[in-house]
A and B are shown apart, each in its own frame.
Chain A
């Protein structure tokens, strides 16, 4: 394959991976604090519709991005109130969040179907951007792509090197110990959950503002769930998560290109199954493999905690 073809393919891989990366990175932090938020899909899609609505109404991509993040944050706050303050079952609440989010998004988005919006501006450096392969690969993106990569670096540093990151890991490792030493478990988890919501919202915003600059009902198409699987795949490590997200971006694009190339006689629907089947395969390999990756799984993941006073 010549460079001229390779570059656009890789570009689309990056685009397909970015929403997954945002959502999964947020969820990674949430899970490291010991909380399992299955509502990623709901937060993503509400983020997508709010970002689109804000951008289409104001004409500002930046406002769109902020609206997407704020919407994800808002839903995450609801999740936090239920699971952290009211100690509700995290699995059930996450599912409720997704059902609610899907309903809310189609309600909010009813007036925006079929409306165009200007895609986010791309970083374009004359001369450099035109270099073969590396030019478009390194420079042809919008701000969200760079933000997602910066977020990987930031989260990796935060968890490994910073003191708040260490406290967050401790809270996810043993809520009871953290509480008895004097850390406010609930407050730490609230912050993590809100961060996760904002990140999911950004993932949604990228979908509706950049990946396919439009609004369509159910446009997340299970990406929230795939992002959840990615966190397991990455065994809660940010850099491995980056690799996982780009791998899945690759799978998505591969099936799109195969469909475009006449699908080798395979019905397009069968090709569309690939990302979902790949997710199942990856989860199985991770669970069955000798490494298991469990050493890194937060010990308190999904357990409700209520301090006694």
Chain B
């Protein structure tokens, strides 16, 4: 009898190779671009031109780069919070809703002070924005820790509720009295808007906060016992309990942190590029941030890069729409494809592919039953 012809053997790796861990996102991006090439070809566009306008053209001007940061800021803020939760196996999928509630809470403060803003208005708005997101994330946290309700479904359901709540407000009590009945609030006063830090662009102070949050997230996860607890709970819940780490406390921490950051991101949107409350605040940042978190390998510094890359997919989508006539929906397809490719390439990180079984010669043989 011949040894079974195992042309390709798949073995689980005992140790995750670091280099490969951080190289696979690049592989995933490359595959996505390739898939984009084929997609555009199939849709009857000139793929070279379309890809150029999608990925390169936005980066040829200073304004393009500033827009990258404008769109990247909320993605980074939310992505860092989600990544910390994902590390603990806490699946907050409702960041979009927490973003909305943060925007509403901060926006209400701005409107309450309308016409009589002071230097304290903006800080107060930020506090309100964070509080809005925190309070909204507290619902799934409470239901999960108290009753064991799956946070994926509750946080997601609450996103729909938040969107409807925002629309109730801008169609009703918060509608601009002089706004020709458009469903939107008054424009915020100047003192209730984030300062622009680069003249001629929309680049606002929130971008700097986002970068600072990412660095703080890295310190938290890599050097403190808090981050250690989060990582242990995610990798081995039984070991966390053995160590005396309280799982409910970690769940609360992760949900409130990610909710607060999403709320702050929402506030930055309405106090930054938008400048008022409108029925739709985000083009799905809360969901895209899930991809950002994974693409950044759940590492806060990696998330800066992946956040900017996903921001590019938004800007590129707009540019390509204008220049080549590509439908805007291509952005969503690209984002989904990217996550697929990333998850698929993960296989290479966790498993080793071998062409032939290794010869049986090594004398040192231990436990393998």
Asked if A and B bind, the verdict is yes
A contacts, CB < 8 Å to B:
38, 42, 78, 81-82, 86-89, 91-93, 95-97, 99-107, 110, 221-222, 225-226, 228-229, 232, 267, 269-270, 272-273, 276-277, 279-280, 283-284, 287-288, 306, 309
Q: B139 — nearest CB in chain A belongs to which residue? A: A280
Residues of B within 8 A of A82 (CB): 340, 343-344
- Sample of 27 A–B contacts (CB below 8 Å): A78-B340, A82-B344, A87-B347, A87-B351, A88-B343, A88-B346, A88-B347, A95-B290, A96-B340, A99-B290, A99-B291, A99-B332, A99-B336, A100-B339, A101-B336, A105-B329, A107-B333, A110-B327, A225-B157, A267-B172, A269-B168, A269-B171, A273-B161, A279-B153, A279-B157, A280-B139, A287-B147
Contact of B37 with A by CB under 8 A: no
Q: Is the CB of B160 within 8 A of A103?
A: no
Q: Is the CB of A92 within 8 A of B157?
A: no
Given that A86-B346, A107-B327, A288-B147 are known contacts, is A280 also in contact with B157, CB under 8 Å in the complex?
A: yes
B contacts, CB < 8 Å to A:
6, 9-10, 12, 91, 93, 139, 143, 146-150, 152-154, 156-158, 160-161, 164-165, 167-168, 171-172, 287-288, 290-291, 294, 327-337, 339-340, 343-344, 346-347, 350-351
Residues of A within 8 A of B147 (CB): 284, 287-288
Q: Give the distance to chain A from B22, nearest Cβ to Cβ, in Å.
A: 18
Q: B340 — nearest CB in chain A belongs to which residue? A: A96
Q: Give the distance to chain B from A188, nearest Cβ to Cβ, in Å.
A: 19
Q: Is the CB of A100 within 8 A of B149?
A: no
Residue of A101, A110, A277, A283 with most partner-chain B CB within 10 A: A283
CA distance A131 to B152 in the complex (A): 45
Instruction: Tell which of A87, A105, A276 touches B161, judged by Cβ atoms closer than 8 Å.
Output: A276
Q: Give the distance to chain A from B8, nearest Cβ to Cβ, in Å.
A: 11
Instruction: Tell which of B12, B146, B332 touches A306, judged by Cβ atoms closer than 8 Å.
Output: B12
Q: Give the distance to chain B from A143, nearest Cβ to Cβ, in Å.
A: 30
For the A-B complex with A86-B344, A276-B161 known, give 8 more contacts whose Cβ atoms are closer than 8 Å.
A82-B344, A86-B346, A93-B343, A100-B335, A222-B156, A229-B157, A273-B160, A280-B153
CA distance A81 to B330 in the complex (A): 23
Residues of B within 8 A of A110 (CB): 327, 329
Residues of A within 8 A of B6 (CB): 309
Q: Give the distance to chain B from A255, nearest Cβ to Cβ, in Å.
A: 11
Residues of A within 8 A of B327 (CB): 106-107, 110
Q: Is the CB of A270 within 8 A of B158?
A: no
CA distance A96 to B351 in the complex (A): 22
